[in-house]
Structure 1
Amino acid sequence: MDDVAAAIADPVRRQILVMLRERPLAAGQIADRFTISRPAVSRHLRVLRESGLVRDTLVGRRRLYELDASRLAGLIEWLDQFAPADDWERRLDALETEVYRTRRERSRQNATDRQQENTA
């Protein structure tokens, strides 16, 4: 649990996990979404991989990263002890917000992907 908590302590790594929630991405696709250097993104990906939060697969010359959210279960279980019992309404509201945000991001990404395909 400590390695998972340490891995998600960094905001860049949390952003990467959110990106990977939808679909596997190549390291370059992830790096392109940040203003930090590619080697810095690679270091973040290594921390996430070593903590077990992401796994990578070599596909040709590309390395695809995929979220493994099962590693969060222990941390979530531990954190739940601090949540009030009547917290479900707040959680459901947060989930609804997240669903709408995810749909909006997916639409934007699909539009970007289509635009890139049309220019290629």
Structure 2
Amino acid sequence: MKGRFFILLLLFVSIHCLWAGNYNSNEKVTKVDNDLKVSAGTVDRYFFHSDFVDARNVDIWLPEDYSAKKKYAVLYMHDGQMLYDAGKAWNAKEWDVETIVTQLYKEKKIVM
């Protein structure tokens, strides 16, 4: 189960590359600042404009040793406000995604 979780998270990371390559040229996605606090890695936030759904922020967590030159599996996760920062969640609880994924990686239970 943990392996599947990680694969989905990394799928989420690759969306970063897809959007950056396809949408920035026509201004559908704009990188914006964020104040998310994470225990490991970094979070890039993009404001995503679409003709099909309401505009929204999309957060992409990148592991500590992330390199744009490397290929990664990706994990897509819904309910972004609860993934990383309890201070931003409606109920002040987070899923602690970045901590769990980083721990599994360091224990060699998953690969990135």
TM-score range, shorter chain: under 0.3
With normalisation by structure 1, the TM-score equals 0.26
More RCO (CA 8 Å, sep 6+): 2
With normalisation by structure 2, the TM-score equals 0.28
Which protein has the bigger helix share? 1
- In our comparison, the structure showing a higher alpha carbon Rg is 1
